[in-house]
Amino acid sequence: MTHAERIARTILEGFHRHYSLFGALTDDAGRRFLAGDWQGLQRLSAERISYYDTRVGECVTNLRESVAADEPETDLWQQVKQAYVALLSFHPQAELAETFYNSVFCALFDHRYYHNQFIFVETTIADRMPLPMEAEYRSYFPVLEGVPATLHQIIHDMGFAGRFDDLDAEVNKLRNAFAATAVERLIQPHELRIDVLKHPFYRNKGAYIVGRIVTTQHTYPFIVPLLRHSDGRVSVDALLTDPVHMAVIFSFARAYFMVRSTAPSALVSFLRSLMPRKSKADLYSAIGLHKQGKTEFYRELLNHLAQSDDQMVEAPGVRGLVMMVFTLPSFPYVFKVIRDRFGSTKEFGRDTVLARYQLVKRHDRVGRMADTIEYSNVALPVARLSPDLLQTLQQSIGQSLCVEGETLVIRHMYIEKRLTPLNIYLEYASSEETEAILQDYGQALKDMLAANIFPGDMLLKNFGVTRGKRVVFYDYDEVQYLTEMNFRSMPVASNPHDYLLDAGSHSVAPNDVFVEQLATYVFPKAALREVFTRLHPELLDPAYWQAQQQAILDGEVSDVFPYPQACRLG
């Protein structure tokens, strides 16, 4: 075995160790769901995020002795890459193994060498999947035993047999729900096939069965959420066939699913057949493979830059005091970089911001907090930045960037989906749209509280509106755990003559919050303030916030459903 082959095998062995441990942790989600161990599920989800970096670090340590140079030896590393490609010829996780290789190489060497000569900027499996989609799903044929028996078999194969009080009743609920939404009527058993992904998807307090019903005329994608009740029994909660509802469940504003997969590329391809508007980057991240999501996103960005010619500009909206935000108008994302200096009202530093973004990354985002993709040493063509933006970047984030010839390198960056800032949305909203979006803004706050998140700065500019008209929070520099805050009532003067003395006699600690001022603080316009106060009066009462805190301290994990209440089957 050559030196190059040994290096290639060491990297692949590191990946195998990672994916084995990652898979074992993921498998434990099903056991915890059936046991009702919600806090355990939350810990698993958070713990799993750090597994990748830990395994990369271990692999780098194993290679240090054989790769002592600070610069890669060109001939050697080209041979290493060729040997690695050969090892991946029939590997079921080849695309993930490529990304692991990239991570190891990038941990060993400087960013000057991050190009396709040494790493997999371009994948070697672009035109093929290691395994076909059929490797990840089972097909069922009701013509053989009828629809009810087929649905019973699906439940059994998913591992939930014996968990229902009355499985026949649950099956009837599903049949009736499908009949109510299907375009065709009176579909006979011989006229359909049911394809179901082999493993349930777990997240928060739900398990999800994902598949499609194929008839002679249509294909109906579906998601079936299952709930586990306090007595241990399981029930069907909904049948979701609306593409909008399905997209929300796999939204960028939700924490990663835990689902077992032997061939992730096949799983992602199947999911894209159900939700074609979702990118590969979106779906890899959604199933917990966020490092692969980063890889796919970066390839999307490079491809878009090659096929477009517009320039990056400062993002619309109110400038942030902590982040410098810019965007490429033809690309639906924003790029966020921590400023060199913060506004005078921000009494914290860079390390605090990094920690708070990491907090959100590891937390259940309950559909209300945008996912962030974190990158180091991002290279952008200087020619694609407008002169005004380049000057602004040099003034605001000069310590985080350098210009190398025709390339601008930003040392640390967050990337998020571009949303319409809520304050801008409200400027053009009709009265009906205003009512609906303020209802959802208040619900977004309540959902975050239920997940033990205090957003900190609740100004409208820090929230965005998605394509589906949902409110999502995206500014994390003041995020803290809800249980760390102190919700107080406003001081009341004992008589009208000494109100100044009374107000001055009340000290205010850093984590004190007076929610009675929320509407005034967030809504300078009286009309908006009136609507919000009418829709969410409890959010102006410190007792409500204190009750949410106490529920979390008591160990309660709230149900936050990723689909409308109207979809629930009861």
- Domains of the chain, residue spans: 3-113, 133-287, 301-419, 422-567
SS3 assignment, position 539: helix
Distances, alpha carbon 452 to alpha carbons 11, 46, 170, in Å:
39, 14, 33
Distance CA 98, CA 126 (A): 12
Does the structure show a pLDDT above 90 at 490? no
CA angle 79–83–86, rounded 5-degree value: 145
Task: Give binding residues for ATP as ranges.
Answer: 315-321, 336
- CB-facing half-sphere around the CA of 461: CA atoms within 13 A: 12
Average pLDDT over residues 515-522: 93
Looking at residue 495, its pLDDT comes to: 59
List the one residue out of 62, 448, 74, 14 whose CA is nearest residue 253.
448
For tokens 């796919």, name the residue.
296
Q: Predicted confidence band at 487 (pLDDT cuts at 50, 70, 90)?
A: very high
The answer to whether residues 10 and 1 touch, using CB atoms and an 8 Å cutoff, is no
C-alpha 30/C-alpha 295 separation (Å) is 28
- Which pLDDT belongs to residue 277? 92
CA atoms within 13 A on the CB side of 289: 29
Lowest mean pLDDT among 147-156, 221-230, 300-309, 489-498: 489-498
The pLDDT value given to residue 182: 80
pLDDT, average across residues 450-464:
93
163: how many CB neighbours lie within 10 A of its CB?
16
Strands 512-513 and 486-487: parallel
Radius of gyration of the chain (CA): 26
| Residue 352: exposure state from Cβ atoms within 10 A (0-12, 13-18, ≥19) | middle
The residue among 425, 449, 447 whose CA lies nearest residue 435 is: 425
Measured over the CA atoms of residue 209, residue 211, residue 215 and residue 220, the dihedral's sign is positive
Is residue 196 within 8 Å of residue 152, measured between CB atoms? Answer: no
The CA distances from residue 26 to 285, 339, 532, in Å, are: 14, 37, 41
| Cα–Cα distance measured from residue 66 to residue 6, given in angstroms and rounded to the nearest whole number | 9
Residue 506 CB contacts under 8 Å (≥ 6 apart), including other chains? 491
Under 8 Å between Cβ of 138 and 210: no
pLDDT at residue 504, as a whole number: 46
Binned at pLDDT 50, 70 and 90, residue 494 comes out as low
Q: Does residue 104 sit in helix, strand or coil?
A: helix
Distance from C-alpha of 9 to C-alpha of 182, rounded to nearest angstrom: 51
> What average pLDDT does this structure show over 370-384?
94
Taking residues 499-512, report their average pLDDT. 61
Query: Helical H runs in 124-223?
Result: 142-145, 147-157, 167-181
Span 421-439, mean pLDDT?
Answer: 96
Contact (Cβ atoms closer than 8 angstroms) between residue 449 and residue 474: no
| Identity of the residue numbered 536 | H
Active site (annotated) includes residue 53? no
The pair phi, psi for residue 557, each rounded to 5°, is: -115, 110
Least Cα distance to 403 among 428, 381, 427, 426 occurs for 381
pLDDT at 337 over 70: yes
Burial class from Cβ neighbours inside 10 Å (0-12, 13-18, 19+) for residue 443 reads: middle
Binding site as annotated, residues:
315-321, 336
| Residues 57-78 pLDDT 10s | 999 999 987 777 778 889 999 9
Beta bridge partners of 387: none
What is the mean predicted confidence (pLDDT) over 256-271?
Answer: 95
Distance between alpha carbon 145 and the CA centroid of its chain, in Å? 40
Annotated catalytic residue, options 371, 440, 447, 477: 371
Cα→Cα distances 425→248, 251, 268, 317, 490, Å: 20, 20, 33, 11, 31
Cα–Cα dist 134/150, whole Å: 19
Name beta bridge partners: 194. 140, 213
Beta bridge partners of 480: 454
- Dihedral angle over CA of 230, 232, 238, 244, nearest 10: 80
Taking each helix axis from N to C terminus, what angle separates 3-35 and 38-63, rounded to the nearest 10 degrees?
Answer: 170
Strand partners, 226: 207, 236
pLDDT in tens, 83-129: 999 999 999 999 999 999 999 999 999 888 888 999 999 998 877 77
CB neighbours of residue 307 within 10 Å: 8
**pLDDT confidence bin for 157, thresholds 50/70/90:** very high
| Out of 50-54, 185-189, 248-252, 279-283, least confident range | 185-189
Structure tokens given for 440: 């959802």
225 neighbors 208 (Cβ within 8 angstroms): yes
Residue 493 has pLDDT above 70, yes or no: no
Q: What is the pTM of this model?
A: 0.93
Q: φ, ψ for residue 317 (rounded to 5)?
A: 115, -175
Q: Across the chain, what does the average pLDDT equal? A: 92
pLDDT, tens digit, 9 for 90 and up, residues 199-255: 999 998 999 999 999 998 899 999 999 999 999 999 999 999 998 899 999 998 888
At 506 the pLDDT is 55
User: Cα separation of 202 and 40, whole Å?
Assistant: 12
